[in-house]
Amino acid sequence: MMRAYKFLMRPTVGQNIALGEMLRDHCSLYNGALQERRDAYRHVSKTTVRYGDQSAQLKEIRAFDPEGQGRWSFSSQQATLRRLDKAFAAFFEGVKDRRTAGYPRFKGVGHFDTVVFPRDGDGCRWDSTPLGPQTRVRLQGVGHIRVHQHRPVRGQVKTVAVRREGKRWYLILTCGDVPAEPLPQTGSQVGIDMGVTHFLTKSDGVHVANPRLLEASAESLAEAQRHLATFPKRTGRRTKAHRAAARKVATLHAKIRRKRLDHHHKVALDLVREYDVIGHERLNTVGMTKAPAPRPDPERPGNFLPNKAAAKAGLSRSVFDAGWGIFLGILADKAESAGRRVIPVNARDTSRTCPECGHAAKENRTTQAKFECTACGFLANADHVGALNVLSRAGLALCAGA
């Protein structure tokens, strides 16, 4: 089993400067490789430049710039070029499947935030001072950096990544052959219905509150964004006040993201500890949050009819704030480690189908929270009804699999 561990790094002032320079040089390498591909294809010969061609040039690039590109790990630079190659592969795959695919773009220094070392021991070394009192990681060109290791690392370290988030630096270890830690069987099953009024509702009728973290920080975040908007978007040289305003907005977003992840991990852990089988709706969050298409007015060319975009934007914001997709991914990972079973089921009409008589109709759900069957008169909370139907469908899927 694969598992990722994320630890906070505590570099010195000199190491912090070196880490910033490492990111800038890798960003420059990425943009230079992208420019080479663009120029080669724009040439009359329509030449295609691939990863192997650009990787073979690294030796000359490092020799030409020993104080810049030559300082860093050869393997990490290959990983940066491979990252660009994957971006082009995804673009061409999207074009082939007739999907909307973004062409790889140049990265700004502030947006290129990760450097990957493909193998532990090649340009990096996890736990480089095992006999010392502090855990450290050694990075080529930077040195031994102190790491705040808050939990043990299990399995074999495969890759090491360094990521910058605001003013903080994090170390991400990807480990393989991580042993599972199965929990004792409880003999219980549950179905969950995701929502925005309640974060989720279980089939036993228990509601888990939605913290609404983005809404709670909306006022301070809006103030910080308004202050940032007072600066020009494109300037040759950004001022110190401009950079401080941008950092404040990024810090607020990072704080919200960390709180959301903490909530997701705690709720998922409670579910995994309490139930052997967990059923949930198979949600298409991308389609649910997609902006509605414009409605041209047939009577007035050039004008458009109302398409409820404002209402859809509010719902999409609530869905993003809840983070359903991230939570379900965390739940699946924890269940795999604990030896539990997570079953995604078809979400169609789960909150419109009566769990008593099976009658499904749009009229059954009179309001957002109220369910009243038009056939048998069954009355219940709509989210609870959805969780009951999810549990029923998960049980059928479990029986079919067995």
Both tokens of 119, joined, read 């193998």
Nearest residue to 283 via CA among 335, 332, 333, 347: 347
Tell me the mean pLDDT in the region 199-203. 93
In the prediction, which pLDDT does 236 show? 66
CA dist list (Å): 193 to 140, 168, 169, 221, 371? 48, 36, 36, 30, 14
3-state secondary structure 295-332: EECCCCCCCEECCCHHHHHHHHHHHHHHCHHHHHHHHH
In the prediction, which pLDDT does 401 show? 65
Model confidence at 194: pLDDT above 90: yes
Residues 175-195: b if buried by 16+ CB within 10 A, e if exposed: beebeeeebeeeeebbbbbbb
pLDDT tens digits for range 136-182: 999 999 999 999 999 999 999 999 999 998 889 999 999 999 988 89
pLDDT tens digits for range 354-368: 988 888 888 888 888
Model confidence at 27: pLDDT above 90: yes
Helix segments in 67-150, DSSP class H? 74-96
Tell me the mean pLDDT in the region 291-316. 82
Q: Tally the C-alpha atoms within 13 A of residue 120's C-alpha that lie toward its C-beta.
A: 17
- Cβ partners under 8 Å of residue 175, min gap 6: 2, 3, 4, 5, 153, 154, 155, 156, 157, 158
Quote the longest CA-to-CA distance of the chain. Answer: 80
Model confidence at 208: pLDDT above 80: yes
Q: For residues 29 and 51, what is the distance between their CA atoms, to the nearest angstrom?
A: 13
Q: What average pLDDT does the structure give for the chain? A: 90
Both tokens of 292, joined, read 């509605």
Going through 1-142 in order, the beta strands assigned E by DSSP cover 3-10, 114-117, 124-126, 136-139
155-169, 228-242, 271-285 — which is least confidently predicted? 228-242
Nearest residue to 141 via CA among 67, 61, 32: 67
Helix (H), strand (E) at residue 28:
helix 13-42
- pLDDT band at residue 402, thresholds of 50, 70 and 90? low
Both tokens of 307, joined, read 């398409």
pLDDT tens digits for range 240-260: 899 899 889 999 999 999 999
Both tokens of 354, joined, read 């009566």
pTM listed for this prediction: 0.85
CB 340 within 8 A of CB 183: yes
Q: For residues 339 and 8, what is the distance between their CA atoms, to the nearest angstrom?
A: 29
17 three-state secondary structure: helix
DSSP string, 191-208: EEEE-SSEEEEETTS-EE
First to last CA, the chain: 23
CB 195 within 8 A of CB 351: no
What percentage of the chain reaches a pLDDT higher than 90? 62
pLDDT tens digits for range 87-110: 999 998 888 877 767 889 999 888
In the prediction, which pLDDT does 315 show? 82
23-37, 54-68, 202-216, 237-251 — which is least confidently predicted? 237-251
Residues 72-88: b if buried by 16+ CB within 10 A, e if exposed: bbbbbbbbbbebbbebb
Tell me the mean pLDDT in the region 28-53. 92
Going through 248-326 in order, the beta strands assigned E by DSSP cover 277-281, 295-296, 304-305
**Higher model confidence: residue 273 or residue 289?**
273
Q: Within 10 Å of residue 261's Cβ, how many Cβ atoms? A: 15
Rg from Cα positions in the chain: 26
In the prediction, which pLDDT does 227 show? 93
In the prediction, which pLDDT does 167 show? 87
In the prediction, which pLDDT does 238 show? 77
**Higher model confidence: residue 400 or residue 238?**
238
- Local structure of residue 70 (DSSP, 8 states): G
Model confidence at 235: pLDDT above 70: no
Taken in order 36, 80, 28, 124, the sign of the CA dihedral is negative
- pLDDT band at residue 289, thresholds of 50, 70 and 90? confident
